[in-house]
Amino acid sequence: MRPETLSAAVFEISSALVDCCRSRSVFQGKDIRRTCETMLAGMGISKDIRAQLLSHGLSGVQDRHYDRHGYGDEKRNVLKSWNDKLEALRKGDHPSGNVISIDQAKAA
């Protein structure tokens, strides 16, 4: 896939979200990547595993010459956890700190 294809798709999606008032501003792929990195950190995923999953490539002697592990299982486990978190957010099942809905407050 060409980078321009992905950029155009992200722009189209973000513009549509702005048009229907689901987003305040148009975003880019780097914004999605930053959000993912931040949320994965908040989930307790180590910086090393986040780098394996999200980076363009790790540098340094150890990474370049010695560490030949593919991190496939680790990446798969993180992506499953990420999927579960996003699905919970989509369904509204995930609590956001101490904020509760007005309906929940009325029921209490």
Digit-coded pLDDT (tens) for 16-50 = 999 999 999 999 999 999 999 999 999 999 999 99
Q: Confirm whether 54 is domain-assigned.
A: yes
Domain for residue 57, yes or no?
yes
In a domain, residue 49? The reply is: yes
Q: With both helix axes pointing from N to C terminus, report the angle between 29-42 and 3-19 in degrees, rounded to the nearest 10.
A: 80
For residue 79, the enclosing domain spans 43-93
Confirm whether 58 is domain-assigned.
yes
Residue with structure tokens 């949320």? 39
Query: Considering the domain boundaries, does residue 74 fall inside one?
Result: yes
What's the pLDDT score for residue 95?
A: 61
Exposed/middle/buried for residue 78 (C-beta within 10 Å: 0-12, 13-18, 19+) = buried
> Is 17 within the bounds of a domain?
no
CA distance 80 to 106: 35
Q: Number of folded domains in the chain?
A: 1
pLDDT band at 1 (very low <50, low <70, confident <90, very high): confident
Output the pTM of the full model: 0.73
